[in-house]
């Protein structure tokens, strides 16, 4: 198993209302889990995700996660 730190931003935070703004949550997953599998584990649909950062680098949904990684997940954002 690996343990990663996940931060959800903007509207994605509503899925975990117990988290404060910017507060990470620890997620334990099997080794060789990808960022896409992390989204499935968190029950976040692909269409609600625009950018995934792993250790401050943009990654795609096939990127393998490692123990201790820091992941930031951002939804699509609109402006006016």
The boundaries of the domain holding residue 65 are 2-74
28-67: pLDDT as tens digits: 999 999 999 999 999 999 999 999 999 999 999 999 999 9
Select from 41, 80, 29, 38 the least CA-distant residue to 59: 38
Q: Percent of the chain having pLDDT more than 70?
A: 96
Which residue matches tokens 């990470």? Answer: 24
pLDDT of 77: 79
CATH value at residue 59: 3.10.20.30
Cα dihedral 24, 4, 78, 47 sign: negative
Q: Is 18 helix (H, G, I), strand (E, B) or coil?
A: coil
Residue 27 lies in a domain: yes
The average pLDDT across 6-33 equals 91
Look at the chain and report how many structural domains it folds into. 1
The C-alpha atoms of residue 80 and residue 71 are separated, in whole angstroms, by 28
Structure confidence at residue 66 (pLDDT): 97
The model's pTM is: 0.90
CA distance 66 to 46: 21
């Amino acid at each position: 198993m690996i343990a990663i730190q996940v931060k959800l931003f903007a509207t994605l935070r509503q899925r975990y209302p117990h988290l404060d703004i910017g507060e990470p949550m620890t997620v334990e997953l099997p080794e060789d889990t990808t960022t896409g599998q992390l989204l499935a584990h968190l029950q976040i649909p692909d269409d609600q995700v625009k950018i995934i950062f792993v250790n401050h680098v943009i990654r795609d949904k096939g990127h393998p996660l490692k123990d201790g990684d820091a992941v930031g997940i951002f939804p699509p954002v609109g402006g006016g």
